């Protein structure tokens, strides 16, 4: 795991962690302005438990990086429009106590506040945020390593399965041949049974004809006997 101080020195490393804005609330609740998007310099100082001058000095040293991550300064018409929007969000009663900057207002997004947490040296809160980020990264890497090992184990098992399937191939081929032979024998048996059935039908017809002829002979004999008796 990288040292906590590495985030202070490496902008590349800071960029890798800027998506983890959830880390802020894991350490301490960050109170946003009514728009739910921004905080002021005073709010940032209160969160990190430092003075506003410390925040302003840090902002001046790293302005380009912070602007890239959501910090902006409002002046003139933009500032008046923002104040108007905030007053409408606060409501009529709360608007009376809403603080309005005289000439300019610096606003920070959560991403910009997280950026400050990775730059601010003399703040226990900022240090805790950096530690949380790096610990979470270490856990994620450990999880990836475990997943990689599990995938490797599965691949090894699949290799064994491949060998087993190769060995099973000839067995399946022989079974398939025997089943085909059995099918052919069953077809032959069905043909024999069909032939026997046809022959039995023919024999039944022959027996019926013989029965009819026997009946005729019996009738003829009866007629002959009756003729003799009459004489």
pLDDT at 23: 93
pLDDT at 27: 94
Measure Cα distances from 5 to 44, 47, 121 in Å. 21, 20, 9
Whether the per-residue pLDDT at 145 is higher than 50: the answer is no
Give 37's DSSP letter.
S
Number of H helices, E strands in the chain: 10, 3
SS3 130: helix
Q: Tell me the C-alpha distance between 170 and 38, whole Å.
A: 71
pLDDT at 165: 66
| pTM of the predicted model as reported, rounded to 2 decimal places | 0.58
Q: Tell me the C-alpha distance between 10 and 4, whole Å.
A: 11
Find which of 77-86, 151-160, 219-228 is predicted with most confidence, using mean pLDDT.
77-86
Cβ atoms 34, 86 nearer than 8 A: yes
pLDDT at 1: 44
Cβ atoms 90, 21 nearer than 8 A: no
Whether the per-residue pLDDT at 47 is higher than 90: the answer is yes
Q: State mean pLDDT over 220-225.
A: 78
Q: For residue 183, what are its two tokens?
A: 């099918």
Q: State mean pLDDT over 66-75.
A: 95
- Mean pLDDT lowest among 69-73, 141-145, 192-196: 141-145
Give 36's DSSP letter.
S
Q: Tell me the C-alpha distance between 22 and 91, whole Å.
A: 29
- What confidence category does residue 225 fall into, taking pLDDT thresholds of 50, 70 and 90? confident
Q: State mean pLDDT over 135-161.
A: 61
Whether the per-residue pLDDT at 181 is higher than 90: the answer is no
Cβ atoms 26, 132 nearer than 8 A: yes
Whether the per-residue pLDDT at 143 is higher than 60: the answer is no
The order of strands in the sheet holding 39-40 is 39-40, 104-108, 72-75
Give 74's DSSP letter.
E
Percentage of residues in the chain having pLDDT higher than 90: 38
pLDDT digits (tens, 9 = 90+) for 78-104: 998 888 887 777 665 545 555 665 688
Q: Is 19 exposed, middle or buried (0-12, 13-18, 19+ CB in 10 A)?
A: exposed
């Amino acid at each position: 795991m990288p040292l906590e101080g590495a985030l202070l020195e490496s902008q590349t490393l800071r960029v890798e962690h800027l998506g983890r804005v959830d880390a802020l609330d894991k350490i301490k609740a960050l109170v946003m302005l009514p728009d739910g998007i921004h905080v002021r310099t005073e709010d940032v100082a209160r969160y990190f438990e430092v003075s506003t001058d410390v925040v302003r000095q840090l902002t001046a040293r790293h302005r380009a990086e912070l602007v890239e991550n959501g910090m902006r300064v409002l002046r003139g018409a933009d500032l008046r429009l923002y104040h108007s929007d905030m007053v409408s969000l606060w409501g009529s009663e709360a608007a009376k106590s809403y603080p309005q900057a005289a000439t300019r207002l610096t606003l920070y997004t959560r991403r910009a506040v997280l950026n400050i947490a990775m730059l601010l040296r003399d703040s226990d809160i900022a240090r805790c945020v950096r530690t949380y980020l790096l610990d979470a990264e270490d856990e994620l890497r450990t999880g990836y390593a475990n997943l990689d090992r599990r995938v490797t184990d599965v691949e090894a098992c699949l290799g064994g399965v491949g060998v087993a399937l190769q060995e099973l191939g000839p067995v399946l081929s022989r079974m398939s041949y025997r089943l085909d032979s059995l099918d052919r024998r069953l077809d032959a048996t069905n043909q024999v049974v069909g032939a026997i059935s046809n022959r039995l039908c023919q024999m039944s017809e022959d027996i019926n004809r013989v029965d009819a002829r026997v009946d005729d002979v019996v009738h003829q004999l009866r007629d002959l006997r009756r003729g003799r008796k009459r004489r």
